[in-house]
Amino acid sequence: MTAEVNTPVTAELAPSVAPGRPIRRRLSWIVANPLPLVLVVLAGSFQIETGVFLTSENLTNVLAQSSILLVVAIPLAFLMLAGGVDLSIGSMAAIGGVVAASLIKGGTPELVALVAILALGLLLGFGQGALVSWAGFSPLIVTFGTLTAGRGIALAISPQSNFDFGPGMSAYGNGRFLHIPWLVWTAILAIVAAEIVFRLLPLGRTVFAIGANPRAALLSGLPVRRVTVSLYVLSAMAATFGGFMFIARLNSAPAGTLGQGLELDALTACLLGGIAFGGGKGSPTGAVLGVLTLGVLQNGLQLMAVPTAWSLAVKGMVLVAAAGLAVVSSRARSGR
């Protein structure tokens, strides 16, 4: 019984759980999953403060701004659930973006360019996964190294930034289908796929098991290495695809700044969503809610014309506050 860590909370909560259970249970669910409430509170206060937050136009805008982050944060969530991490997302996006940009400017059809950068992501992710999984390198070091190296490679490929990729790209980056931007449709597709994998496919359980105890997973005969490598591949492919979404939306591909800081935003979203470093805890749904929380926060602060310096500070504090809630909720849960 390793979890008998002293928690005064445990002793006090335990006997009082029995009476009035439904309400208590709902309360403890909210403590354990605070993000939906946080989202509602944030949206409500921004609406009161600005009067324009809860318009369909602005909400669409929030989703559009969040779509790229969603696409890269969901694979990261799976990777983190399995105990890994990917800090190279920003640079991978840059590589994907500039390679796609050069190909398209060189006359390659958009779809072919897309396939090419997905293949590139596959190769790069496989390299990272192989180093981590087979050679036993630390994922922090491997992907942190790739973050720096990748930015350099992106700059080398495309010293001047390309722009203006034609009507096809701008239709995807800024056009809509059924009033909803194509980018948002892309993100919705990612969310649905994630939920299916996590809840309905055996793979979701395997990912969880690897994060909870890699040794036990191996001895249970689960394909630990293959799955781990696949998750790095998936994360890298999502990142290069994120780069493609970026250039479609911006209609330019600045190698120096494309996707910069994307990995930190994705990491923040996953942590906010209750996915623990080291794995075995959380769900991709959490990461989605984490991204939306960040998106709402960013958009609301923009509407209120809060200076960037302050909005960064608020973002950081939200993360720390969420971590605090996670501690409280895990104590509350171990009491039952």
Partner 1 sequence: MSQPGLELRGLKHAYGRSPVLRGVDLDVHRGRVHALLGPNGAGKSTLISCLSGVLRPQAGSIRLGAVDLAGRSPAAVRHLGVSVIYQSFSLVDGLSVADNIFLGDELRRGPFVSRRRQAIAAAALFEELGAPVNPGRPVGSLSVGEQQMVEIAKAVHGQVKFLVLDEPTAALGKSETDALLALVRRLTDAGVGVVYISHHLDEVMQIGDDVTVLRDGVVVDSGQVSGYTATRLLSAIAPSAPAATSSSVVDVGAERLRVDSLEVDGVGPISFSVGIGEVVALFGLLGSGRTEVLEAVAGARRRTGTVTLGGEAVAPGSVASCVRRGICFVPADRRHGIFEALSAQQNLLAPHHRSLARWGLRQIGRERQCFDTVAGQLALEPPDAEKPAWAFSGGNQKKLVVGRWLVTSRPQVLLLDEPTQGIDVGARRALHRTLRHLAAEDGVATVFSTSEPAEALAVADRIVVLYRGGQAADLRAHAATETDLLAAVHRHGVAA
**Least distance CB 202 / partner 1 (angstroms):** 4
Do the beta carbons of residue 166 and residue 104 sit within 8 Å?
Answer: yes
Rounded CA gap, 286 and 195, in Å? Answer: 11
Within positions 269 to 288, which residues make up the interface with partner 1, using CB under 8 A? 280-281
* Phi/psi of residue 252, nearest 5 degrees: -150, 165
Rounded CA gap, 280 and 203, in Å? Answer: 14
Residue from 36, 109, 134, 199 touching partner 1 (CB under 8 A): that is 199
Within positions 223 to 242, which residues make up the interface with partner 1, using CB under 8 A? 223
Residues ≥6 apart with Cβ < 8 Å to 44: none
Closer to partner 1 by Cβ: residue 61 or 334: 334
The answer to whether residue 222 forms part of the interface with partner 1 (CB under 8 A) is yes
Closer to partner 1 by Cβ: residue 8 or 307: 8
Closer to partner 1 by Cβ: residue 209 or 294: 209
Closer to partner 1 by Cβ: residue 254 or 279: 279
Binding segment toward partner 1, per CB under 8 A, in 171-179, 206-214, 260-268, 311-319: 206-214
Closer to partner 1 by Cβ: residue 296 or 332: 332
Long-range contacts of the stretch 140-148 (C-beta < 8 A, 24+): 140/85, 140/87, 143/85, 143/86, 143/87, 143/88, 144/87, 144/88, 146/87, 146/88, 146/91, 146/92, 147/87, 147/88, 147/90, 147/91, 147/263, 148/91
The answer to whether residue 1 forms part of the interface with partner 1 (CB under 8 A) is yes
The answer to whether residue 17 forms part of the interface with partner 1 (CB under 8 A) is yes
**Least distance CB 4 / partner 1 (angstroms):** 5
DSSP string, 172-220: HHH-EETTEEHHHHHHHHHHHHHHIIIIISHHHHHHHHHHH-HHHHHHT
Handedness of CA 247, 251, 256, 257 (dihedral sign): negative
The answer to whether residue 21 forms part of the interface with partner 1 (CB under 8 A) is no
Do the beta carbons of residue 284 and residue 193 sit within 8 Å?
Answer: no
Binding residues with partner 1: total (CB under 8 A): 37
The answer to whether residue 22 forms part of the interface with partner 1 (CB under 8 A) is no
The answer to whether residue 197 forms part of the interface with partner 1 (CB under 8 A) is no
Site residues (vs partner 1, CB under 8 A): 1-6, 8, 10-11, 14-15, 17-18, 199-202, 204-206, 208-209, 212-213, 215-223, 280-281, 335-336
